[in-house]
Amino acid sequence: MVTVPRRFTVRAVVAATSGASIGRAVAMSTPMRLVVTAPRVPAAPVPVVGRRALSVAQTLSKIKEQGKTAFIPYITAGDPDLETTAEALMLLDACGADVIELGVPFSDPYADGPIIQASAARALAGGTTIDAVLSMLKEVTPELSCPVVLLSYLGPIVRRGAANFTAAVKEAGAKGLIVPDLPYAETCEFRNEAIRNGLELVLHTTPTTPAERTKEIAEASQGFVYLVSVNGVTGPRATVDPRVKDRLREIKQVTDKAVAVGFGISTPEHVRQVADWGADAVIIGSAMVKQLGGAASPREGLKRLEEYAKSLKDTLP
């Protein structure tokens, strides 16, 4: 087992991260058509310390050039506690994660299935707050060789304000953002705030997103294009929707950005199949969260997480 020092004692302020559900029009499904005009972005700085200095897009581009498929695990911050989350981040990095997606627990994670919903509820019950998550992340990111993408629902962002939120995420060391319930009509404005703080805003598309909308999303998305493999919430499935194969080909016809497939990916067979179909990266969420959440103790959870992560990483080309 990879040895990770228990250096990060993070004291969470006991406060609820709850609030009214905001904006259920998701970028992947909102019927309103909006052409997103990409603002001029300054050239990315030349990396100075290897992988640690690379953006998400640069990281995935390098892996793509090598003919490999990137491994992107997801975990929920604060489940079972933030100290274990810090250890899990370093463990996943040591196991070969190319990018790590870290979820901020929210009281109404309606895009998520039962496993991640229960994980978020445990984290909130334990007192995890966005401030505590960012404080922990600021300590851990200097130790990581791979970039972290923070996933947050819109509620915490609205309460803090987009400018303040993105500035705090940058200070914490994250490289990218995913906001699953960001209304499509607000994508351009929020994307500009992210760019001002050097963050990559990742957008979703699905097997049933219209072709023109998919093209717009591919143009606006940064870091990578997130292809949701199902029409529904997160959670393991028995098989991968065969429409994903055609969808991957269609997206790659309109962008040279990396395309990552997530939702429902849980077994080595799923990972191998999606990679064979041409995915540039695979995202494993619920099944990864289950390794920590279903364990009798944090130490057992970390051991299970390591074994599971290695089994998936070893499957990828």
Contacts of 160 (CB under 8 A, 6+ apart): 130, 168
Residue 28's nearest CA partner among 183, 176, 153, 158 is: 183
Residues 288, 39 contacting (CB under 8 angstroms): no
The single residue of 81, 87, 98, 112 carrying the catalytic annotation is 112
Residue 101 appears among annotated catalytic residues: yes
The single residue of 79, 101, 216, 280 carrying the catalytic annotation is 101
- Considering only the C-alpha atoms of the chain, give the largest distance between any 2 of them, rounded to a whole number of Å: 50
Residue 112 appears among annotated catalytic residues: yes
Residues 154, 59 contacting (CB under 8 angstroms): no
Residues 281, 99 contacting (CB under 8 angstroms): yes
Q: How far apart are CA 285 and CA 240, in angstroms?
A: 15
Q: How far apart are CA 129 and CA 17, in angstroms?
A: 6
* Residues known to be catalytic: 101, 112
